[in-house]
Amino acid sequence: MELNRRNWYHNVFPPCLTKRILRFFSTGTLPLIFLIQPLFAQNLVTTQEADRMVSYDDDSWPQTPHYEAINSRNNQCHYALNVFEPTTGERKTILKKDVLVSYTYDLLKREDQLCDQIVCEVAIGDLNGEMVVYFDYTLQTPDAYKHHGLIQEGRQIIIKLKNDTTVSLAFVDSAKGLLDKGRNETKYRTYTKLDDTQIEALKKSEAQRLLMPWSRGNEIYPISNPTLFIEQLTCLD
């Protein structure tokens, strides 16, 4: 499955480094002018049907005879894709990605470390009534396949909630990983579907831990953003 094209600064700075930069300059030491995104920066979103759609960073949508933009109902909701096709009555909405897991093994932590070794970003989408969760993994190593293997279709990722319940989601697509030699990192992208029972469970309680079924072995990661599923699912109500 093709990876999303990130904003220009994500091609230079990984998400964890970007957050550190923003935190540094938020003290007012220097203006943030040079961090403002270009006016015409775009994101490429690949939907389940493999049709490509381009959304703009200001959440606007290029008007065409086939698609029209939908106004956001909540200012706290940030959409990568939010369109309606009048001719077919189909609606496609995908939230912008947010970090769910940012983790480094204790034995490998360093004081000068800029990024965590494993970062998982999540975006939930409503594709004409079918709810899906996109998982984007970035591993800070060119040897990810050697240590972790691949993501296999049918394997289940398990999310442990704070109310002591779990939600199991089966991967719909396999991912072998895409190596970025320039940055010595490997990216994986896959997705799962959500049924009504899973949606209600994820909205009831904050997330606590995640069991990731890599082909070379399961790993458990602490959740960095416990309210991610609650917030994104609320935006899609």
Confidence of residue 90 (pLDDT cuts 50, 70, 90): confident
Higher pLDDT, 105 or 141: 141
How many Å apart are CA 131 and CA 185, to the nearest integer? 29
Q: 13-27, 89-103, 204-218, 223-237: which has the minimum mean pLDDT?
A: 13-27
Residue 145 lies in a domain: yes
Domain assignment present for residue 166? The answer is: yes
Q: What is the rounded distance in angstroms from the CA atom of residue 127 to the CA atom of residue 51?
A: 12
pLDDT tens digits for range 31-67: 443 433 433 333 333 333 333 333 334 444 333 333 3
- Number of structural domains (the chain) is 1
Indicate whether 208 belongs to any domain.
yes
Q: Is residue 125 part of a domain?
A: yes
Q: Please, are residues 68 and 89 in contact by the beta-carbon 8 Å criterion?
A: no
Are 63 and 69 spatial neighbours (Cβ–Cβ below 8 Å)?
Answer: yes
Q: What is the structure's pLDDT at 27?
A: 45
**Has residue 1 been placed in a domain?**
no
Comparing 17 with 125, which gets the higher pLDDT?
125
- Any domain includes 3: no
pLDDT computed for residue 109 by the predictor: 61
Q: Which two tokens stand for residue 16?
A: 């964890």
pTM of the model: 0.68
Could you read off the pLDDT of 129-172 as tens digits, one per residue? 999 999 999 998 899 999 999 999 999 999 999 999 999 999 99
- Top-confidence range, 9-13, 81-85, 110-114: 81-85
Q: What is the pLDDT of residues 176-228, one digit of tens each?
A: 999 998 888 999 999 999 999 999 999 999 999 999 999 999 999 999 999 99
Query: In the prediction, which pLDDT does 7 show?
Result: 41
Q: What's the domain range around 182?
A: 8-235
Residue 22 in contact with residue 29, Cβ under 8 Å? no
- 146: tokens are 């050697």
